[in-house]
């Protein structure tokens, strides 16, 4: 049985992101996967990297202590799925804070002679499901930071067998039909992740 960690980052239960989250969890559960559903807002995750945490960032013997339960969940995952909206051409602050505080040296990567080496090789499947308020062209012109980070930095620390980045662009003008089609696309992608 595959164990998936789903990281969800949206504060509103009535949002389209919440519908995407429910679709992801439902599809993975229907496959028989064990889903660790981590709703960062519902769990009250604190995204703030403190001064003591930053000072101890490279001490792999102690750096995980403030976030140990989340580190344990990440290390147990064979699949990692992020569900989030793109805000201001980036991740929501709570998700960015999760990456800052949990994707630590010794957890997601190792430093060897000053080079970053992958350390989350337990994650064999990596996916993101997201929405953008603007068009694909607008995101492209801005450099599409979330896509680039996901497909380069997160991919690098996992080196997964499968990677999917699903994005609904132009959410500000998306029709009900466009949203329904994206929900169906998301379900299909999770069924074959």
pLDDT in tens, 73-94: 999 999 999 999 999 999 999 9
pLDDT given for residue 22 in this prediction: 98
Q: What gap in Å lies between CA 87 and CA 94, rounded to an integer?
A: 11
pLDDT in tens, 12-54: 999 999 999 999 999 999 999 999 999 999 999 999 999 999 9
Q: What gap in Å lies between CA 82 and CA 187, rounded to an integer?
A: 14
- Looking from the CA of 37 toward its CB, the CA atoms found within 13 Å total 13
Domain, as residue range, for 127: 3-191
What is the CATH number for 8?
3.40.50.360
pLDDT in tens, 99-134: 999 999 999 999 999 899 999 999 999 999 999 999
pLDDT given for residue 1 in this prediction: 86
Secondary structure class of 52 (helix, strand, coil): helix
Beta-carbon neighbour count of residue 114 at 10 Å?
Answer: 5
Split into its structural domains, the chain has a count of 1
pLDDT given for residue 146 in this prediction: 96
Q: What is the pLDDT averaged over residues 61-66?
A: 96
pLDDT in tens, 128-179: 999 999 999 999 999 999 999 999 999 999 999 999 999 999 999 999 999 9
């Amino acid at each position: 049985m595959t164990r998936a960690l789903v990281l969800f980052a949206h504060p509103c239960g009535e949002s389209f992101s919440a519908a995407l989250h429910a679709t992801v969890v439902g599809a993975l559960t229907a496959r028989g996967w064990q889903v660790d559903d981590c709703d960062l807002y519902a769990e009250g995750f604190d995204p703030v990297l403190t001064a003591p945490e930053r000072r101890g960032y490279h001490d792999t013997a102690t750096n995980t202590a403030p976030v140990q339960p989340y580190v344990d969940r990440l290390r147990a995952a064979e699949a990692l799925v992020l569900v989030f909206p793109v805000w201001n051409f980036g991740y929501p602050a709570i998700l960015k804070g999760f990456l800052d505080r949990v994707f630590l040296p010794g957890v997601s990567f190792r430093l060897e002679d000053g080079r970053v080496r992958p350390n989350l090789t337990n994650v064999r499947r990596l996916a993101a499901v997201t929405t953008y308020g603007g068009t694909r062209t607008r995101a492209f012109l801005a450099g599409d930071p979330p896509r680039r980070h996901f497909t380069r930095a997160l991919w690098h620390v996992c080196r997964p067998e499968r990677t999917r980045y699903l994005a609904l662009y132009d959410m500000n003008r998306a029709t009900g039909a466009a949203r329904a089609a994206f929900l169906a696309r998301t379900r299909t992608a999770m069924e074959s992740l």
